[in-house]
Structure 1
Amino acid sequence: MNEPTSDYPVFLGSEIDQPAPERAYFHVLPVPYEKTVSYGGGTCLGPSAILKASWQLEKWDGKSQPCEQGIYTCEPVDCSVSPEQVVENIAAATTHIVKQGAMPVVLGGEHTVTYGVIKGLKAAGFDDFGIVQIDAHADLRDAYEGDPLSHASVMKRCVDMGIPLYQLGIRAFCEEEIAVRQQHNVYFQDADELVPQNIQAIELPADFPSRVFFTLDIDGMDPSVFPSTGTPVPGGLGWYQTLNLFESVAKQREIIGFDIMEFAPIEGFHAYDFAASLLTYKLMGITQRTQSSISQ
């Protein structure tokens, strides 16, 4: 098997050639941004590690070949500028993907990245959509350590834009965030319900938008599955539970994109790099099999 030849190789490049952008449904966007992490670091290395590990994947994900829809790997977003400009860079890249008729698959980076993605979706013309979030943390603080662009404030930025939110697996939050949930009518099923009861599917409220962007913070999954994150919290979701919850959403709504955030590789433990890469490909596969909007 060939080895990746750059820090940001083509996703699944050992199995497929990089297609022309217009011939790919999935556009993988690496965003190696890390500024406001509040415990462990390393999320800026996540996108590269996921792309490199993808060279060990098989085309067949167990049920289908998601790569048949075309997977295009974009150039990484420039994260060397101010946080405000990084957000705008992410937004511009996301808008460009959507206007090509493709689905953004965004690899972070800290969770602040999602704010830029959401701004890009809005700019591309998606006015009515909701967010479904898997996370250990609510991320609903107005600011953390004085920074409104903190990873701990990303969902507050989104609900302030009027975007409906459904949170899954949360198990670390403060009183301020409980108040924000009430103020913005945030839907949720927290980890203390999902995990002990082994809930594998949710039913979205009837008034939840018909389009959904899905954001998956790696720390939403249990540290026994993914210790490779900066802010691990015990009591999280398992591997199959995470996939099944995503699929339950995808069967009910049109997925307009998804991201994998807060993956921080652990040097010498490549199993987690591979798991994050496989998770990305599995979500592509679920999307491929459930979304009628994907042209065959």
Structure 2
Amino acid sequence: HACVMRRVLEMGLPTLPVGIRAICREEAELIAKQQIPVIWDRDIARDPDWIEKAIAKITTEKVFLTIDVDGIDPALIPGVGTPEPGGLSWHQTLGFLRRLFQTHQVIGCDVMELAPISDSVVSEFTTAKLIYKLIGYQFIA
């Protein structure tokens, strides 16, 4: 996931990472050097207006949406590639996505980093439900 987004940045395409809660030194340096706007998890938790502020940072009408499910609270989706404490709640996630579909033309979407846990389907179920919501937002936006 990180390597792909690095290539996107190298191609000069705008990005807006949302819900970021952990980065390595190299990523921090890249964010600072390229002045990449980031919506940090800690800021989301403190700012009730974060969705509108995030949407305002999206500079294109058409967007391709990449959802890295390890950006969501691991209490909701524990089966991920890189679990990290914190993360977007279900309602924060849906609120942002609903608003994104209302304000922009989402031309495509992928959902990444699901890593199923044996003897549990909660991660797969929640991720499938998220995709179901995305499809609905596409048609009602």
Contact 1:250 1:286 (C-alpha < 8 Å) held by counterparts: yes
Distance 1:235 1:198, change over 3 A: farther
Task: Find the counterpart in structure 1 of residue 88 from structure 2.
Answer: 237
Contact 1:214/1:258 (CA < 8 Å) preserved in 2?
Answer: yes
Contact 1:198 1:241 in 2 (8 A): no
For residues 251 and 278 of structure 1, what CA distance do their matches in structure 2 show? 19
* 1:163 paired residue number: 13
The answer as to whether partners of 1:171 and 1:190 remain within 8 angstroms in 2 is yes
Alignment of 1:178 with 2:28, yes or no, is: yes
User: How far is the alpha carbon of 1:272 from its aligned partner?
Assistant: 2.3
Runs of 4+ in 1 over 2 A off after TM superposition: 182-185, 195-200, 202-207
Relative to 1, partners in 2 of residues 1:212 and 1:172: Cα closer, same or farther, differing over 3 Å? same
For the Cα contact (< 8 Å) 1:195–1:236, is it kept in 2? Answer: no
After TM superposition, give the deviation of residue 278 of structure 1 in Å. Answer: 0.9
1:169 is aligned with what amino acid? G
Query: Which residue among 45, 54, 59 is the counterpart of 1:208?
Result: 59
Question: Structure 1 residue 188 and structure 2 residue 38: aligned?
Answer: yes
TM-score (norm 1): 0.44
Q: Which residue of 126, 131, 136 corresponds with 1:280?
A: 131
Cα RMSD, aligned residues only: 1.8
Instruction: Output the CA distance in 2 between the equivalents of 1:247 and 1:177.
Output: 28
* Deviations, residues 243-269 of structure 1 (Å, cap 9, x unaligned): 111112222211011111000111111
Between 205-214 and 219-228, report the one with greater CA deviation.
205-214
C-alpha displacement of 1:179? 2.2
Query: Does the CA-based 8 Å contact 1:159-1:184 persist in structure 2?
Result: no
Q: How does 1:261-276 map to 2 (within 5 A)?
A: 261-276=112-127
Task: Find the residue that maps to 1:182 and give its secondary structure.
Answer: helix
State the SS of the aligned residue for 1:208.
coil
Name the structure with the higher helix share: 2
Distance 2:122 2:56 in 1: 37
TM-score by length of 2: 0.89
* 1:154 match: secondary structure: helix
**Mapped contact 1:202–1:249 kept (Cα < 8 A):** no
CA distance change for structure 1 residues 267 and 173 in 2, over 3 Å: closer, same or farther?
Answer: same
Matched residue count: 140
Residue 214 of structure 1, CA deviation: 0.8
Give structure 2 stretches of 5+ with no counterpart.
Answer: none
Alpha-carbon distance between aligned partners in 1 of 2:85 and 2:58, rounded to the nearest angstrom: 32
Bigger Rg, structure 1 or 2: 1
Unaligned runs of 5+ in 1: 1-110, 112-138, 140-152, 291-296
Which residue in the other structure is 1:227 paired with? 78
Q: Percent identity?
A: 34
